[in-house]
Amino acid sequence: MSWRVKLQPPGMEGTSEIELADVVPFFKAYPEVKRNFFDELVSNINKNKDFYVGANIKAVTGPDQTDWSANPWLLLIARETEKEAPFWLLFKREKTLAGYLVALGPAGVAAYAKDEGLDEIRRILEYIITFTNRWDISIFLPTIPDLADVAPPKASTSPEPENPDA
C-alpha cells in the first residue's frame, strides 16, 4: 500500500513523483503528531534560511487510487548530514494544527519503521526538531491556485439561489 505525491521541483519544468509507504500496516492507524512538533519545525526553519519551503505538491494519490490533493499536506524531506540518510514523511494537517503521519519513505525507511515501530519514528521526529542543524530539510506544501486562474462566482441578480431545473 503506497501513497504517491506529485511534486513540481523548484526551478524545473514538469513534475516528479515519489512513492511513500502507507503507515497503517506498520502502526495499525495513522499516528497523531502534536501541534508543537509543527510549531517547533516552523520556528527552526525560520532560524535557518538554508532550508527549503515551497508550495510544490501538485497531487496526492492514496493507496486506493483516490485523489487526496485537496487536503492540507506537508511533505518533510529530511536528510541527516552525517549519514546522508533521507527520510520522507507525509503528514496530513488538521484544523487544530496537529497532524497525522500518513506515509513514509524511501523503502529503507519504511522497512526500518516496520521493524523498529512507532516509538523509533517518534524518536527520529524529536531528533529532527532538537538537532535541526544536523539535517538538510525541505518542506513541500500544496500548490496554491493562482487566483487569476480561478473563475469568479457567477453573479446573480435575484436574492434566491439559482435553480438549474427551472
How do the pLDDT tens digits run along the chain, 166 residues long? 899 999 887 777 878 899 999 999 999 999 999 999 999 988 888 887 778 888 889 999 999 999 998 889 999 999 888 877 789 999 998 888 889 999 999 999 999 999 999 999 999 999 988 888 888 888 888 876 554 444 444 443 333 434 344 4
What is the amino acid identity at position 159? Answer: P
Q: Which pLDDT belongs to residue 145?
A: 56
Are the C-beta atoms of 87 and 111 separated by less than 8 Å?
no
CA distances in angstroms from 52 to 25, 42, 121, 140, listed in the order given = 31, 11, 22, 8
Q: Which three cell numbers stand for residue 71?
A: 487536503
Q: Burial of 121 by CB count in 10 Å (0-12 exposed, 13-18 middle, 19+ buried)? A: buried
Q: Which pLDDT belongs to residue 160?
A: 40
Q: Which pLDDT belongs to residue 162?
A: 40
Are the C-beta atoms of 82 and 133 separated by less than 8 Å?
no
What is the amino acid identity at position 58? Answer: K
Q: Which pLDDT belongs to residue 15?
A: 82
The span from the CA of 16 to the CA of 152, in Å, is 31
Whether this model's pTM surpasses 0.85:
no
The span from the CA of 76 to the CA of 140, in Å, is 7
Q: Which of 118, 138, 6 is nearest to 62 (CA)?
A: 6
Q: Which pLDDT belongs to residue 23?
A: 94
